[in-house]
Structure 1
Amino acid sequence: MLYTRKGDKGDTSAFGCNQRFSKNSALAEALGSVDEINSLLGLCKTKAGDFEIEIENKKIRLDEIVEQIQQDLFIIQAALAGADKKITQEKISEIEKIIDEIEKQLPPVKSFFISGGAEQSAFFDYARTIARRAERRVVALSESENNKVAPEVLVYLNRLSSILYALARISNVKSGLEEKGPSYK
């Protein structure tokens, strides 16, 4: 069933959760923002094509990396909604390893860069900004009354924007495009 009429008065519940809450609550904002970044990552995944990056001397398809992040975001949503699901330190370490490996393939960061270049890079950079918003919403939830957000969720969401930044940069480099910084003129 695609509609239930249960939320017609401004409240909702998370999938598999009997508790109802306002659609204007910190929980609804956090869940919606994580859902938003997950959906945008689906678009990023469709733009990945056959693009591969080298991680620890193995070629890994970019769409596989994005798919794993999407799976992790579903775990985060379930955890935020109160399900017995957890983001582990292992998941955080996996993302950090990918970031570290990509960083070895990039020129050092000397300034901000203007989004664009390769289309794929622009999508990842846009996703990075949406990931930051999701992180802010989850932090707000963690600071609201009666809500405990696991520290690993906050760490993972912080690393999420970092990996998306790395993927935006490597997309430009692999496409042969030079990053351009702002001129501030």
Structure 2
Amino acid sequence: MSSSSSSSYRKRVYTKFGDKGETSLLYGGRISKNSPQTEAYGITDEAVSAMGLARSLTEDQRVKDIIRDLQRDLFTIAAELATDPDKYELFQQHFTPVTEAMIEDLENTIDSLEEDFEMPTVFVLPGGTPGSSALDMSRTLIRTAERRVVALAETSGLTNPLIVNYLNRLGDLLFVLARYHDRELPIERATGERS
């Protein structure tokens, strides 16, 4: 590949700084790619991407709008988790940390959705539609993120403990949202039996 003179002005995607198993934190600092902190914000980032897939697979505008708002919240949570606790004030200058009001918004969204359809009372086998499948995948990633954040809190400390509450409620919302997405389809029960 030839290099042009303009390439010296553009920032490269690769830095090679991570080649030794470390990664940079937001606002400075480096940690192992295997640290509880990296695990916590990494799985949160995975969930943001999975939710993007879910958003692209649904035609339901209400579902799209809810997912977009959740992705924005999660992006901020990932940034919060990727911030060195000593630099938390810098994070607060650029982002709004998770608040009780954000958790209440999730609860209100769950309540609003449940008013518009009847939730199944049985275990549901995921896979009704591509959109609900991606929402269920997002839910499982959020449950993993929740466990990783709890592990981070237990090992290194957590600057904002409300993140755990938010992720817990978000997992519930994604379950409800997947069921709402497929509300007009017959429910495929998870029975453990083969047909």
TM-score, normalising length from structure 1? Answer: 0.87
Cα deviation per residue 1:112-133 (whole Å; 9 max; x = unaligned)? Answer: 1111212211111111111111
- For residues 105 and 40 of structure 2, the distance between their equivalents in structure 1, rounded to whole angstroms, comes to 24
Aligned to 1:154: 164
Instruction: Measure how far apart 1:88 and its partner are.
Output: 1.3
- For residues 181 and 124 of structure 1, the distance between their equivalents in structure 2, rounded to whole angstroms, comes to 17
- Counterpart of 1:171, as a letter, is H
Aligned to 2:188: 180
- For residues 114 and 32 of structure 1, the distance between their equivalents in structure 2, rounded to whole angstroms, comes to 27
Aligned pair count? Answer: 172
Aligned to 2:67: 66
Report which of the two has the higher share of helix.
2
**What percent identity do the matched residue pairs reach?**
38
Aligned to 2:16: 5
Aligned to 2:6: none
Aligned to 1:20: 30
Aligned to 1:31: 41
Instruction: Measure how far apart 1:90 and its partner are.
Output: 1.4
- Counterpart of 2:64, as a letter, is D
- Counterpart of 1:139, as a letter, is V
Contact 1:13 1:20 in 2 (8 A): yes
Instruction: Measure how far apart 1:64 and its partner are.
Output: 1.6
TM-score, normalising length from structure 2? Answer: 0.82
Question: Gapped runs of 5+ residues in structure 2?
Answer: 1-11, 84-90
- Counterpart of 1:18, as a letter, is G
- For residues 179 and 63 of structure 1, the distance between their equivalents in structure 2, rounded to whole angstroms, comes to 22
Cα deviation per residue 1:37-79 (whole Å; 9 max; x = unaligned)? Answer: 0011111111122x14xxxxxxxx3222111111111211122
Contact 2:63 2:181 in 1 (8 A): no
Report which of the two has the higher share of strand.
1
Instruction: Measure how far apart 1:111 and its partner are.
Output: 2.1
- Counterpart of 1:124, as a letter, is L
Aligned to 1:134: 145
Q: Greater CA radius of gyration, 1 or 2? A: 2
| Aligned residues: CA RMSD | 1.5
1:87-106, aligned counterparts within 5 Å? 87-106=98-117
- Counterpart of 1:119, as a letter, is P
Runs (4+) of structure 1 exceeding 6 A deviation are: none
- For residues 35 and 120 of structure 1, the distance between their equivalents in structure 2, rounded to whole angstroms, comes to 19
Instruction: Measure how far apart 1:108 and its partner are.
Output: 4.1
The one of 106, 117, 122 aligned to 1:111: 122
- For residues 113 and 74 of structure 2, the distance between their equivalents in structure 1, rounded to whole angstroms, comes to 21
Aligned to 2:88: none
Question: Gapped runs of 5+ residues in structure 1?
Answer: 53-60
